[in-house]
Amino acid sequence: MTMNASFEQIGGIFSQYDSFVILSHVRPDGDAIGSQIALGFALMAIGKKVRLINEDGVPENLAFMLGSDRVETPPDEPLEVEVAIALDTASKVRLGERALNAASKAKVWLNIDHHISNPGYGDVNRIDGTSPATGQILYQLIKALNLPLTPESRDAIYVAVSTDTGSFQYPGTTAETYDMASDLIRQGLDLGRINRLIYDSYPFRRVELMRALLNTLECHNDHRVAHWDLTMATREALALKPEDSEGLIDIIRAIDTVVVAVFFEELPDGKIRVSMRSKDTRFNASKVCGTFGGGGHALAAGIRMPGPIEDAKVRVLAAIDAELQTF
């Protein structure tokens, strides 16, 4: 097992093998789908056989992405591929059961990610916690190996990095991120168009969801903690899609007094999805989520835990209060 593979080592795998399945996490975000497209089209451009598989397919909000029609939900039978590549996925189970079955014949597993909690479940791993998005690691990889930057890869890298950095705002954003963005623009990226498609094209029901969430908003601990929740009843009443709640936590994260923002969501399978954001480096959200089997980054992390939602709230909010006590 290689923990911190060089781009050259990864390039060696690309040269040695011919067929690849590229995977990313369930409930994919812009960095997940963007990373799959970015690397997928680079490998296709050098003549490799590539399948892009995601457990949940492409969400409606990312269907505008060039090349997203190549991302498929898993077939029933395992694919005849030599290499499986997991992108932007903190743990192997987050790839999803059907996607794992589709990739089960792969001889070599490559794992490229920026989650500090990633244990390195590949045969060859590159986990770079200093990168604000997996898309930025793939940009560096494409440049280092001199792989073609197709229009699909170019746009996908932008979507991946923009969505994971809160539009190039979060502290993980580096000078290199901006250098990369300016290079993508020089390579023909249509900035106004792509930002409109990412940020100004929401369905009306997302605003209705915002209204419903605001009605559940609660703050405690001197307004240092803010949380809201989404029940199955609201999900059904508004006919929500899973991606409709993406990014809404930033509204309560932006409250001036707030150090920790939490979003509790009832899922159709009875589990509770918890999203957590921290604005203080002393509060490590990944560590707190880790005590419940979740993970992520220091300032943005999540959990999938057993319900009911009331119990999940009590347990997680108590853990947050305990951690806040320490500073």
d(CA 144, CA 45): 16
Q: Binding of ligand AMP at residue 135 (CB under 6 A)?
A: no
Among 31, 55, 152, 246, binds Mn ion (CB under 5 A): 31
Closest separation between CB of residue 224 and Mn ion, Å? 26
Phi, psi of 96 (to 5 degrees): 95, 145
Is residue 91 within 8 A of residue 106, CB to CB? The reply is no
Q: Which helix (H) or strand (E) holds 67?
A: none
Report the residue closest to Mn ion, judged by CB: 31
User: Binding partner of residue 32 among ligand AMP, Mn ion, none, CB under 5 to 8 Å per kind?
Assistant: Mn ion
Q: Which stretch binds ligand AMP (CB under 6 A): 5-13, 126-134, 170-178, 300-308?
A: 300-308
d(CA 219, CA 226): 4
Phi, psi of 260 (to 5 degrees): -130, 130
d(CA 99, CA 23): 7
> Quick one: tokens of 109?
């597993």
> Smaller CB distance to ligand AMP: residue 83 or 303?
303
77-96 residues in contact with ligand AMP (CB under 6 A) are 90-91, 94
CA angle 246, 201, 255 (to 5 degrees): 45
Q: Binding of Mn ion at residue 56 (CB under 5 A)?
A: no
Phi, psi of 20 (to 5 degrees): -135, 140
Q: Binding of ligand AMP at residue 275 (CB under 6 A)?
A: yes
Q: Binding of ligand AMP at residue 299 (CB under 6 A)?
A: no
User: Binding partner of residue 65 among ligand AMP, Mn ion, none, CB under 5 to 8 Å per kind?
Assistant: none
> Smaller CB distance to Mn ion: residue 114 or 224?
114
109-148 residues in contact with Mn ion (CB under 5 A) are 134
Write out the residues near Mn ion by the rule CB under 5 A.
Answer: 29, 31-32, 88, 134, 164
